[in-house]
Structure 1
Amino acid sequence: MTSADPIGRALAVSVGVAGLFTSAVSAVGGATACRPAWSEMPTPQGANSFYGVAAITQSDVWAVGSHYDGVDDRPMSEHFDGIQWVIMNVPTPGASGAYLRGVGGVSGTDVWAAGYWITTSGLSDTLIEHYDGTAWTIVPSPNPPSSASYLGTVAAVATNDVWVAGHYLDNSGIYRTLVEHWDGTSWVIVSSPNAGNGDNALNGIAAASSNDIWAVGYQSSTPGAASSTLVLHFDGNIWTIVPSPNLDGLTSSLAGVVALADGRIWAAGFYYDGVQGRTLLLHGDSSGFETMPGEDFPGEGNVLNGIAASASGDMFAAGYHYPNGTSDYQGLIEHYDGEQWRRVSSAQGASYTYLSGIAAQSGGEAWAVGNTLTATIAESVCEIQVSEGGFVPEAASGTLGDTVGWTITGSSSHRLVDASGMQLFDSGPRAPGSSFQFTFDSAGTYPVIDRPERATSVIAVPVDLPETGTTGVPLNVTWSAAPPSEGFLFDVQIRSPSDRGFRNWRVRQTDISATFVPPASGAYAFRARLRDSATGKFSKWSPSAVVTVANP
């Protein structure tokens, strides 16, 4: 497997995969309903890698990357139709490696993907492909006088107005910014500035309108110097550098950017403080930018690879975190609710997992893609919509530790309150276009009320246990992802095959799990609730979770 990609030179991540891939269109079964917390989606497996994702509509989502065919890397694309992910045929420009890094589109019949490929002479040339609703085709794209040109990001404004960005290696061995534009007929290179005499590269691009385009990446003042943030803006005539801050650290880089309808711009990336990577979030406009803190995993490296917005107060950023001194990457998702960035639960649990791209649609739907050591990974979230008409949906389910999201889609402010009496959360007034998140660590059924509308909703979180078991063999029953807050307790009930109803099994517990040894075959059901010992208030019982036990 060959790779000559220096994208993200300031912080390199290499992934190796091997196996067989079929070029025929194929789908994956087992589609699951989108939930109000991030959850994993089945994707076709094989030696595949995801790098970019774009959401045209809620049922028209594209992810691009590469796959290994046993000889070399080939460009790869998958499509989500609202039900399942399907591998789509993508032409390859030559016999050597080829990669798609970014994707964007105007409609389901006008989608663009960009990357690079290795020529027969060993050079890296730009690669642009187009999907017309029927098939992907390679569209000729120019290259600067260079031994290496790379594209990594796409912004589509209209059928005759599409932008891609990346970088190329100049004759002195320094990376310089590269921007290309589609005018409906052909791709042309558009002059773009560089901020220093060292490496300059663009990793993300976004469009607010045809005369308001933004690109972000990194720059170095001199060859070999530490990188710092780079922000470029196109006003309809020329690209210019916009001042951008850098937090105290040895190096900084931006990986993604989003342009909001209200004129604000957000960018995400990382900086290195000499000990570990930390998330970097900037917001501003053409006059300049300022930083806003994210919520890192303490004592670990944290990196953001992309950012997307459902609304001005409902944004997500995705990347990965890792314990210092290790390469055991884990996915990282952070959420902005209109006031602050907070870390939210993410679905993946496999070692060496990172998220490389994220996309969102209005209404609180978002998708993130990435990779493990051996497979692609995709996640989605469909936040609960809150308006003057109530909650949509009115009832939702989660798993232990899920961060559930609500998005305010109405025309007035809404206030979401825990209606159990335990005072678990109170969002305060949330303006239209903003959002709210709360993590449900423990099993139970939690009523939610919208004030002042007084519409109600419920979040149901079941106990976690295996689906099957064996008589006499211990199995683990878990009713919370974290210990209870001070003054809170758990009640757990069981219904054995011989029971007519539920009976107490563990009462007023602070433990979050226990071992159960089934004495006989049959179906055993468990449920739990959270109790406030000071007030006597409690959640409703969780939905029943059932384990079916067989004799050995």
Structure 2
Amino acid sequence: MSRRLPMLAMIGVLAVAGLVGGVGPAQAAPPPTADAPNADTPNAWTEVEHPRPGGADTYLHDVVVPAADDMWSVGYTFAVVGGAFEFRTYGQHCVQGVCTRANLPNREGAPATNFLYGIGAHSPTDMWTVGYSRDPGQAGITMAIRYDGSNWTIVDTPNPAGSNGSYLYSVAHLGPAEAIAVGGYEDSAGNVPRPLAMRWDGAAWSLLAVPAVPGCTTRATLYDVAAVGSSTFMAGTCRDVGGADAGFVLSRSAVGRWKIQVAPGDGVLPTPSTLQSLSFVPGSGVWAVGTSNNFALQTAAGISIRLAAGTWSPVPVPQVGTSTQLLAVAGIARNAVWSVGITATGAFAERLSLYWNGRRYVNVAAGDYSNLKGVAYDPAGFWWSVGHDLGDSVIQKIPVP
């Protein structure tokens, strides 16, 4: 759902139930595989212990697996320091099931305000993570941090001229000289959210001109980007002519040609709708997930769509609890796709994981509080998911069925 973006970060930290959409994974697509074994009920998710900093809440938003048994996840910490809120970059690196804190840098402030939302990998020694930082009393500015196999280093990123705040939520890392990051910025005329995209050419980041989406009037933000061959697909949410939230999908070719894939009013998505995540699934095309909120009834239904043979079509999503919200999607075959997020039973928020077995989504228990924000495949024979349990980061794994 569209919203003031700085408030999103605060809600993600302070909301007790966590019923606010996050940002899904942006990772290199796994190599094509044959159909995975068909299983209606995969084995249960297992919690993975990981070191958390003392005296701080911890939140994980995205996950990537650049090699077998080599998982990285990123997010941020929250603590009260000297009576002020402080947010710092936070990450976990899990190798063969043993997790350690990632040594991620921060832009220092008084207090520090740093958030990471997305991570993408070209190889185990070439990765990007993106988010934003903000000095007290100043607008947020984009932030990108690169990993060279030994160290994480902040790399300069541009911000739209006159912006009242700029934010990156996802990154697709196609190669050493090709990466695309997306997010949003608030313009100087009324703080209206606008879509933001930028490209890494091997030497520097530069802004991309995002095309207008037919049917979108205001308040547009890009939440996820995924590599599809040498192209990239981007998912976002805007306001339509009737003032309702509306999901949309864009694509950009390797030579810079844009295409509107899904737009408000084209019949692909319900009204209202938000799209939070997309991913390329070998043998099954591009999948995107999100939510259709019914604010009057205080309920939400999950949305899942896929592009196959040039046509977008809905994938039926079961209603789990009163509020089914899908925040991330990843798959390795047409009968092996995970969509994760959050649901609610009464007043309680619970993690949600749905497994597509080629015929239908199956609800797989994923623990209690509070949500899952990212999911990724591990060639070692596992799936990883990350999120948070109120103020504690969550890492889970499940064997490939």
TM more than 0.5: yes
Residue of structure 1 in register with 2:364 after alignment: 344
Residue of structure 2 in register with 1:163 after alignment: 180
Counterpart Cα distance in 2 of 1:335 and 1:58: 21
Residue of structure 1 in register with 2:61 after alignment: 51
Counterpart Cα distance in 2 of 1:43 and 1:279: 30
Which of the numbers 139, 157, 177 marks the counterpart of 2:195? 177
Tell me the CA shift for residue 262 of structure 1. Answer: 3.7
Q: TM-score, normalised by structure 1?
A: 0.61
Residue 54 of structure 1 contacts residue 359 of structure 1 at CA under 8 Å; is this kept in 2?
yes
Matches within 5 A, 1:294-309: 294-298=317-321, 300-309=322-331
Which of the numbers 38, 45, 49 marks the counterpart of 1:42? 49
Residue of structure 2 in register with 1:321 after alignment: 343
1:278 aligns with 2:279: no
Counterpart Cα distance in 2 of 1:312 and 1:321: 25
Counterpart Cα distance in 2 of 1:341 and 1:36: 15
Tell me the CA shift for residue 344 of structure 1. Answer: 1.2
Matches within 5 A, 1:9-158: 13-15=12-14, 36-46=43-53, 47-71=57-81, 72-95=86-109, 96-145=112-161, 146-158=163-175
Tell me the CA shift for residue 154 of structure 1. Answer: 1.3
1:333 aligns with 2:353: yes
Unaligned 5+ runs, structure 2: 17-41
Give the residue type in structure 2 aligned to 1:151: L
Q: TM-score, normalised by structure 2?
A: 0.82
Deviations 1:443-484 (A, max 9, x none): xxxxxxxxxxxxxxxxxxxxxxxxxxxxxxxxxxxxxxxxxx
Which of the numbers 232, 239, 261 marks the counterpart of 1:220? 239
Residue 60 of structure 2 contacts residue 75 of structure 2 at CA under 8 Å; is this kept in 1?
yes
Deviations 1:88-110 (A, max 9, x none): 22111131311000001111111
Deviations 1:480-515 (A, max 9, x none): xxxxxxxxxxxxxxxxxxxxxxxxxxxxxxxxxxxx
Counterpart Cα distance in 1 of 2:45 and 2:284: 28
Deviations 1:98-151 (A, max 9, x none): 100000111111111000111354211001001111111100001012011110
Counterpart Cα distance in 2 of 1:81 and 1:209: 27
Larger radius of gyration: 1
Counterpart Cα distance in 2 of 1:334 and 1:262: 19
Residue of structure 1 in register with 2:6 after alignment: 5
Tell me the CA shift for residue 238 of structure 1. Answer: 2.3
Tell me the CA shift for residue 240 of structure 1. Answer: 2.5
Unaligned 5+ runs, structure 1: 18-34, 384-405, 407-552
In structure 2, the CA distance between the partners of 1:148 and 1:288, relative to structure 1 (3 Å rule), is: farther
Matched-pair identity in %: 24
Counterpart Cα distance in 1 of 2:268 and 2:358: 23
Give the residue type in structure 2 aligned to 1:138: I
Give the residue type in structure 1 aligned to 2:353: I
Counterpart Cα distance in 2 of 1:239 and 1:176: 17
Matches within 5 A, 1:437-456: none
Residue 310 of structure 1 contacts residue 362 of structure 1 at CA under 8 Å; is this kept in 2?
no
Counterpart Cα distance in 2 of 1:247 and 1:16: 28
Residue 140 of structure 2 contacts residue 167 of structure 2 at CA under 8 Å; is this kept in 1?
yes
Number of residue pairs matched?
A: 354
1:241 aligns with 2:260: yes
Matches within 5 A, 1:413-452: none
Counterpart Cα distance in 2 of 1:65 and 1:267: 22
Give the residue type in structure 1 aligned to 2:280: A
Residue 268 of structure 2 contacts residue 312 of structure 2 at CA under 8 Å; is this kept in 1?
no
Tell me the CA shift for residue 293 of structure 1. Answer: 1.0
1:356 aligns with 2:376: no
Residue of structure 2 in register with 1:190 after alignment: 208
Residue 282 of structure 2 contacts residue 331 of structure 2 at CA under 8 Å; is this kept in 1?
no
Residue 52 of structure 1 contacts residue 64 of structure 1 at CA under 8 Å; is this kept in 2?
yes
Tell me the CA shift for residue 261 of structure 1. Answer: 3.4
Give the residue type in structure 2 aligned to 1:87: R
Deviations 1:367-412 (A, max 9, x none): 11011122111111112xxxxxxxxxxxxxxxxxxxxxx2xxxxxx
Tell me the CA shift for residue 248 of structure 1. Answer: 4.3
Counterpart Cα distance in 2 of 1:316 and 1:70: 36
In structure 2, the CA distance between the partners of 1:162 and 1:248, relative to structure 1 (3 Å rule), is: closer
Q: Which has the higher contact order (CA 8 A, sep 6+)?
A: 2
Counterpart Cα distance in 2 of 1:199 and 1:285: 29
1:269 aligns with 2:290: yes
1:376 aligns with 2:400: no
SS where residue 5 of structure 1 aligns?
Answer: helix
Counterpart Cα distance in 2 of 1:98 and 1:48: 13
Give the residue type in structure 1 aligned to 2:203: T
Residue 208 of structure 1 contacts residue 261 of structure 1 at CA under 8 Å; is this kept in 2?
no
In structure 2, the CA distance between the partners of 1:294 and 1:364, relative to structure 1 (3 Å rule), is: farther
